Amino acid sequence: MDGLELLRNLRQSGNNIPFIMFTGKGREEEVEKKRAEDKLAEVEKERQIILDSVPAMMFFKDRDSNFIYVNKRLADV
């Protein structure tokens, strides 16, 4: 667990004690990068939920025709 995950867990449990975080590089960019990665993961999870709720079979392929995503409906078939 990294510092951001620890802070998130503390906040979710209702603990609001002051928290000072030091990063390896000592820059706020590292925190912002982690936040952006977390937001992207959240958006991808939401996309997955939406696409899995579609009754049609859906898929995405890359330029080489490799499947990079199939929704639950297609995976079940």
- The number of folded domains in the chain is 1
Q: What is the pTM of this model?
A: 0.51
Contact between 22 and 7 (Cβ < 8 Å):
no
Rounded Cα distance, 38 and 46, in Å: 12
- Residue 16 has a pLDDT of 82
Q: Rounded to the nearest 5°, which phi and psi values hold at 61?
A: -125, 155
Tokens of 36: 């952006």
Domain enclosing residue 41, as ranges: 3-76
Q: Which residues contact 77 (CB under 8 A, 6 or more apart)?
A: 57
For 5-52, write each residue's pLDDT tens digit: 888 888 899 888 887 777 666 577 777 888 999 999 999 999 989 988
